[in-house]
Structure 1
Amino acid sequence: MTEACPIREGAGAHPDALALTFAGQGWTYAALDEAVGRWVAALRARGVGKGECVGVLSTNHAALVHLFFALGRVGAVLAPFNARLTPSELGPMVEDVAPRLLLALSPFVSLLPGAEPLESFADTVARASPDCPPLESGAARVILFTSGTTGRPKGAVLTEGNFRASARGSRANLGAHPAPRWLGTLPLFHVGGLAMLTRTAYDGGCLVLRERFDADDTNRALDTEGITHASFVATTLERILDARQDAPVPASFQCALIGGGPVPAPLLARARAAGIVSLQTYGLTESCSQAATERPDEADGLTAGRALPGLEVRVVGPSGEPLAPGEEGELEVRGPTVMAGYWNRPEATREVLREEGWLRTRDLGRLDARGRLTVLARRTDLILRGGENVYPAEVEKVLADHPSVREAAVVGVPHARWGEVPVAFVVPRDGAPLAADVLEAWCQERLARFKLPTRLLPLDALPRNAMGKVERGALRQRALAPGLTPTP
Structure 2
Amino acid sequence: MTWGCPIREGASRWPEAEALTFAGRRWTYRLLDVEVGRWVAALQARGVKAGSRVALLSANHAACVGLFFALGRLGALLAPLNARLTAKELAPLVQEIAPELTLAQGPLLDRLPGAENLEAWGSAEQAPSPLCLPLGASTPRVVLFTSGTTGRPKGAVLTEGNFRASARCSAANLGAFPAPRWLGTLPLFHVGGLSMLSRCAYDGGCLVLQDRFDADAVNQAIDQEGVTHASFVATTLERVLEARADRPVPASFQLALIGGGPVPAPLLARARAARLLALQTYGLTEACSQVTTERPSEADGRTAGAALPGLEVRIADPEGQPLGPGREGDIEVRGPTVMAGYLNRPEATHEALRDGWLRTRDVGSLDERGRLTVLSRRTDLIVRGGENLYPVEIEAVIASHPAVQEVAVVGIPEARWGEVPMAFVVPRPGHAFPLDLDDWCRRSLAGFKVPARFIPLEALPRNAMGKVERTVLRQRLPHV
* Coarse TM-score class (shorter-chain normalised): 0.7 to 0.9
Query: What residue is the counterpart of 2:364 in the other structure?
Result: 365
Counterparts of 2:412 and 2:260 in 1: how far apart (Å)?
Answer: 17
Residue 164 of structure 1: SS of its match in structure 2?
helix
- C-alpha contact 1:222 1:250 (8 A) present in aligned 2: yes
Cα separation, partners in 2 of 1:379 and 1:65, compared to 1, 3 Å: closer
Counterparts of 1:476 and 1:322 in 2: how far apart (Å)?
Answer: 40
* Structure 1 segment 296-311 matched on structure 2, within 5 A: 296-311=296-311
Counterparts of 1:341 and 1:351 in 2: how far apart (Å)?
Answer: 10
1:125 deviates by: 4.0
- C-alpha contact 2:42 2:126 (8 A) present in aligned 1: no
* Segments of 4+ moved more than 6 angstroms: 463-471, 481-485
What letter is aligned with 2:231?
A: S
Residue 212 of structure 2: SS of its match in structure 1?
coil
Matched, 1:380 2:353: no
Cα separation, partners in 2 of 1:262 and 1:119, compared to 1, 3 Å: same
What letter is aligned with 1:49?
A: K
Matched, 1:281 2:292: no
Counterparts of 1:470 and 1:110 in 2: how far apart (Å)?
Answer: 21
- C-alpha contact 1:138 1:160 (8 A) present in aligned 2: yes
Query: What residue is the counterpart of 2:73 in the other structure?
Result: 73
What letter is aligned with 1:329?
A: G
Cα separation, partners in 2 of 1:260 and 1:21, compared to 1, 3 Å: same
Counterparts of 1:186 and 1:481 in 2: how far apart (Å)?
Answer: 42
1:468 deviates by: 9.8
Query: What residue is the counterpart of 1:351 in the other structure?
Result: 351
Counterparts of 1:159 and 1:6 in 2: how far apart (Å)?
Answer: 15
1:151 deviates by: 3.5
Counterparts of 1:217 and 1:307 in 2: how far apart (Å)?
Answer: 32
1:120 deviates by: 1.6
- C-alpha contact 1:82 1:466 (8 A) present in aligned 2: no
Residue 280 of structure 2: SS of its match in structure 1?
strand
What letter is aligned with 1:308?
A: L
Matched, 1:217 2:217: yes
Structure 1 vs Structure 2: percent identity of aligned residues? 68
Residue deviations 1:225-260 (CA, integer Å, cap 9, x gap):
000000000000001111111000100100000000
Counterparts of 1:188 and 1:40 in 2: how far apart (Å)?
Answer: 19
Counterparts of 2:311 and 2:305 in 1: how far apart (Å)?
Answer: 13
What letter is aligned with 1:139?
A: T
Structure 2: where are the runs of 5+ without partners?
392-408, 417-440, 461-471
Matched, 1:54 2:54: yes
Query: What residue is the counterpart of 1:454 in the other structure?
Result: none
Query: What residue is the counterpart of 1:331 in the other structure?
Result: 331
Counterparts of 1:145 and 1:215 in 2: how far apart (Å)?
Answer: 28
Residue deviations 1:246-291 (CA, integer Å, cap 9, x gap):
0001001000000000000000000011011000000000000001
Cα separation, partners in 2 of 1:307 and 1:62, compared to 1, 3 Å: same
Query: What residue is the counterpart of 1:181 in the other structure?
Result: 181
Counterparts of 2:413 and 2:135 in 1: how far apart (Å)?
Answer: 48
Across the two proteins, how many residue pairs are aligned to each other?
418
What letter is aligned with 2:158?
A: L
Query: What residue is the counterpart of 2:237 in the other structure?
Result: 237
Counterparts of 1:299 and 1:150 in 2: how far apart (Å)?
Answer: 35
Structure 1: where are the runs of 5+ without partners?
383-391, 397-408, 412-421, 430-462
Counterparts of 1:302 and 1:337 in 2: how far apart (Å)?
Answer: 25
What letter is aligned with 1:362?
A: R
1:215 deviates by: 0.7
* Structure 1 segment 76-95 matched on structure 2, within 5 A: 76-95=76-95
1:123 deviates by: 3.7
Counterparts of 1:130 and 1:252 in 2: how far apart (Å)?
Answer: 37
- C-alpha contact 1:354 1:360 (8 A) present in aligned 2: yes
- C-alpha contact 1:7 1:201 (8 A) present in aligned 2: yes
Query: What residue is the counterpart of 1:190 in the other structure?
Result: 190
What letter is aligned with 2:227?
A: I
- C-alpha contact 2:149 2:379 (8 A) present in aligned 1: no
1:122 deviates by: 4.6
- C-alpha contact 1:42 1:122 (8 A) present in aligned 2: no
Matched, 1:256 2:256: yes
Counterparts of 1:99 and 1:424 in 2: how far apart (Å)?
Answer: 35
Residue 163 of structure 2: SS of its match in structure 1?
helix
- C-alpha contact 1:84 1:466 (8 A) present in aligned 2: no
Counterparts of 2:114 and 2:449 in 1: how far apart (Å)?
Answer: 32
Query: What residue is the counterpart of 1:272 in the other structure?
Result: 272
1:318 deviates by: 2.1
- C-alpha contact 1:42 1:125 (8 A) present in aligned 2: no
Residue deviations 1:92-114 (CA, integer Å, cap 9, x gap):
01100100001011111111111
* Structure 1 segment 304-323 matched on structure 2, within 5 A: 304-323=304-323
What letter is aligned with 2:170?
A: S
Cα separation, partners in 2 of 1:466 and 1:366, compared to 1, 3 Å: farther
Cα separation, partners in 2 of 1:99 and 1:105, compared to 1, 3 Å: same
Counterparts of 2:322 and 2:337 in 1: how far apart (Å)?
Answer: 21
